[in-house]
Amino acid sequence: MNSNLGVKVVAFATATLSTLVSFSPVNAQVLFGKKEVDQNKFIVVAQPLQNNLYKLLVFEQVSTQRSCWSESGSQPATVEPLLLNFDFTGICGRSVDSNGYSIRMADQDLGWQYTLRLVPEGNDVVLMGVPAKDPNGPMVKIGRTYGVSNTFAKVVLNPGWRLTKRTYQDKTLGHVYFTTDTVLGGVPGDTGGNTGGNTGGNTGGTLFADIRNDVYASEIDQAVNAGFVAGFKDNTFRPQDTLTREQLVSMVVESLGKIPNVNISLPSVVSTRPYPDVETTRWSAAKIQWARDNNIISGYGDGSFRPSQTVTRAEMIAVLRRAAEKGKTMRGLSATLTPKVQSKAFNDTTGHWAAETISRMSGYCNVASAFNETGSSFYPNTETRRNYAAAATLRMLNCVKTDK
């Protein structure tokens, strides 16, 4: 470890964060709320210590007076904490321990039930939520560095996770939440009981070798385990393969069938073509017919469906919106999709035919999200890949299942 890094390690290891409010675990749910924040003003960092240990840090750019950090490279992106070089009071914020950050899931503060820990996993460092009380509780994968570095590395949060701020009586506190809208045990990456840091699973912690470094790996695993999408016979998932219209229909119809107490009855024999270009003997005919009859899909102006045509990201989100509305009505709820998170302002959807739907579905459990979960572009006309299709469908399903 170089001397400069050693100084920084000592600086952060000795830093403390004052507790702003006194409270007890019993009253946490009553006392504390959350406030959405601009994700671009925060960065999550893994700081290497000795003996293959890591410290979790969260930096916040409070004002624009001076930059609090810089980052460069990828897999992993390395971080230079510039705030160490000046008096950052009023300019930067930092959270360095459990006083400064905790986990919040489905609006439940889990700060007294879970600790946050950075765990080496192969050529990676994974941010885990580890049960502090219940040894049999599920561990939760929250993010990863996508590589190992001997200096500060950026932790990329898994899809469905974001940072928020804790609030108390309408006052925003300095405490940072690692937040998801999904309940404990239902988020991507949840694993079995606490085994002392071992996350279980096969090599690389994924079901398929070809998704090991994919940003959607944990969600692909959960989607496959849920049973609405599958891999191939050669034990690959082929995450970068494009998705066809009939494949999307199959995935969506299968996912709706996973809603508790919902039964989707597909005909064993299709007597008439659902569309002129969909033969009754086609493998997807029954699902296409059901999706058509339930207003989840529609054909083109010439009456065709074009089942083998690739589907764009905008088209997929339009289908997922209709599927979510159908899923809610099947649960006996209003079809209205109430936002769960703040809608995203994508820089390439203004004037697009699906702009309103993409915006709405970004607020509905992040179903619509930035391309590869980075930046602010959606790429609405780009062909949909299997990895994002699995993740987006999973988010839709989980949102419908937990909606009220």
- Kindly report, residue by residue over 14-29, the tens digit of the pLDDT: 443 333 333 444 444 4
The pair of structure tokens assigned to 164 is: 């928020």
What single DSSP character describes residue 390? Answer: H
What is the model's pLDDT at position 203? 33
Whether residue 380 is preceded by a cis peptide bond, meaning omega within 30 degrees of 0, is no
Tell me the mean pLDDT in the region 221-245.
Answer: 91
> Nearest-CA neighbor of 165 among 100, 114, 111?
100
- Determine the average pLDDT of the residues in 32-41: 92
Mean pLDDT along residues 30-53? 88
pLDDT in tens, 58-111: 999 999 999 999 999 878 899 999 999 999 999 999 999 888 999 999 888 888
List Cβ neighbours of 229 (8 Å cut-off, separation of 6 or more): 220, 223, 251, 254, 386, 389, 390, 393
288, 279 contact by CB (below 8 A): no
* pTM of the model as a whole: 0.53
Range of 31-35, 124-128, 359-363 with top mean pLDDT:
359-363
Decide which of 312 and 119 is more confident. Answer: 312
What count of residues does the chain have?
Answer: 404
**Mind listing the pLDDT tens digit for each residue in 286-344?**
999 999 999 999 999 999 999 999 999 999 999 999 999 999 999 999 999 999 999 99
Other beta carbons within 10 angstroms of residue 213's beta carbon come to: 15
Residues of the chain above pLDDT 70, percent? 87
Q: Output the CA angle 203-205-208, nearest 5 degrees.
A: 70
CB 208 within 8 A of CB 366: no
In this predicted structure, the answer to whether residue 206 has a pLDDT above a threshold of 80 is: no
- State which H helix or E strand residue 248 sits in: helix 245-256
Burial tier of 132 (Cβ tally within 10 Å: 0-12, 13-18, 19+):
middle
Mean predicted confidence (pLDDT) in 252-275: 91
- Residue 24 sits at φ, ψ, to 5 deg, of -120, 155
